[in-house]
Amino acid sequence: MPKIIPIRDLKNTSQISRMCQEATEPIYITKNGYGDMVIMSVKMYEEKIFMMDVQNKLAAAEMQIAEGKVLDGESSLKNLREKYNV
């Protein structure tokens, strides 16, 4: 369940930092009862960016497969071995 806190709670920065480090998902900040910001630890941010990159690459690969832009694995390996004398 997402953690939701009012903006006034941001005054206690050490507590917020600890909360971000311990959280397993982003923390939502509200202002006047409405969503205003989202905060998370740097580690969580980097993990989210990494996963987004992986998902984008998988989507691109699936599109290439759907368009028929694929190579035969055996012939590709054979060509690489011949090219690099392996």
> Residues 10-26: pLDDT tens digits?
999 999 999 999 999 99
Whether residue 78 sits in one domain with residue 59: yes
Contact (CB, 8 A) for 4 and 30 = yes
Number of structural domains in the chain = 2
Give 53-73 pLDDT, tens digit per residue: 999 999 999 999 999 999 999
Residues 60, 27, single domain; the answer is: no
pLDDT in the model for residue 2: 87
**Confidence at residue 15, expressed as pLDDT on a 0 to 100 scale:** 94
Contact yes or no for 86/80 (Cβ under 8 A): yes
Largest CA distance in the chain: 68
Q: Which range of residues forms the domain containing residue 17?
A: 1-40
Kindly tell me if the per-residue pLDDT of 1 is higher than 90: no
- Which CATH number does the domain housing residue 20 bear? 3.40.1620
Residues 36 and 61 in one domain: no
Q: What CA–CA distance (Å, rounded) separates 38 from 20?
A: 11
Same domain, 28 and 11: yes
Tell me if 16 sits within 8 A of 9, measured CB to CB: yes
